[in-house]
Amino acid sequence: MTIIGVNASAQGQIAEQQPGTLFGYPLAPDTCSTLESRCNYIITHFWDNFDISKPVTDNVTFERTFRDYVDFFRYAHRNVVLASVRDLVNKAQSNTSNLQMLGTVAERALYGPEAEYWSDEVYMAFIKPLAASKQMPRADRERFAAQLARMNRVQSGAVLDFEFTGIDGNKTRLSALTDSVSTYILLFLDGSADSSIGRLRLSTDVALNQWLETGNVKLLCLSLNKYTSDWAAAAAGFGNNWIVGCGENLQQELDLRSLPCCYLLDGDRIILDKSLSVETLISAVNSTNY
């Protein structure tokens, strides 16, 4: 992709088109003296020389170009990013196949497990109009609407509650936990090897175990499966001082786009952070004075 530190002396200049891209990217003029202002300019003018209303014949190159576009988001002002996204989606409305492709590419680049940049706010700006568009196939509209519902349910600052089944086979709710604690850590697992390794890493982390022993922190380990006696027997050894449960509907209720993942809640079950990797959580625990 174009190096953002390379400036043009006048507005309207573009870089030479690189192999594997749809067009040459805009170059920020010398008047853009900061990283943010350069990225703001590039994002604002990124699609100026591309007509999104015309059929796209090379989906692979389009996605590569789109991911280059997304790379600038993290350095730009949020209002500029959101305005650019809205403009791009509006222009794509006149071509149903392009609109559908834009949603698919945005899902991979901003939401899915292979996304290099996760932003609920930006992704929601893409899919809100898609979920409401009659031009979109019904299955796509329903998928985007379900994603919106899950993301809205678990935004930072929201109070989290859901039902799960304990090792004893009894159903309970997160809100039924009455322990007086300052922090809840929720670890969500599936049956993959990555989840097994993640669970093992947390169960053997010295700092986390010392933190749990204070009684001021609770860790809930929740498997995304239906309760069975075999699962309960295996889950009994998941971790010391852990609350262990399962729920086959949790992935439909919550935003669990990549597993294993962790949520961090305060003592009132208010979401402080979500979609944390095990590595990120361990790093945070080991840098915290408990």
Shared domain for 149 and 172, answered yes or no, is no
Instruction: Give the predicted TM-score (pTM) of the model.
Output: 0.80
For residue 275, tell me if it sits in a domain: yes
With a pLDDT cut of 90, the percent of the chain lying above it is 67
Q: What share of the chain is helix, strand, coil (3-state, %, to 5)?
A: 45, 15, 40
For residue 158, tell me if it sits in a domain: no
Alpha helices by DSSP H, listed for the chain, are: 35-45, 59-71, 78-92, 96-110, 120-132, 138-153, 193-204, 206-213, 229-235, 250-253, 278-286
For residue 22, tell me if it sits in a domain: no
Q: Tokens standing for 3? A: 């190096």
C-alpha–C-alpha distance, residues 82 and 89, integer Å:
11
Q: Which CATH number characterizes residue 237's domain?
A: 3.40.30.10
Shared domain for 138 and 177, answered yes or no, is no
Q: What was the pLDDT predicted at 7?
A: 37
Shared domain for 134 and 211, answered yes or no, is no
Sheet holding 217-223, edge to edge: 171-173, 163-166, 242-246, 217-223, 183-189, 261-266, 271-276
Instruction: Let me know the angle formed at the C-alpha of 245 by 112 and 256, rounded to the nearest 5 degrees.
Output: 10
Shared domain for 112 and 132, answered yes or no, is yes
Shared domain for 51 and 98, answered yes or no, is yes
The domain boundary residue, chosen from 131, 153, 175: 153
C-alpha–C-alpha distance, residues 87 and 203, integer Å:
47
Averaged confidence pLDDT in the chain: 89
For residue 228, tell me if it sits in a domain: yes
Q: Which structural domain range is residue 279 located in?
A: 163-286
Shared domain for 219 and 183, answered yes or no, is yes
Contact yes or no for 23/11 (Cβ under 8 A): no
Per the structure, the count of domains in the chain is 2
Shared domain for 136 and 172, answered yes or no, is no
Per-residue confidence band for 118, with pLDDT thresholds at 50, 70 and 90: confident
Q: What was the pLDDT predicted at 172?
A: 95
For residue 6, tell me if it sits in a domain: no
Q: Is the confidence at residue 25, as pLDDT, over 50?
A: yes
The domain boundary residue, chosen from 128, 153, 178: 153
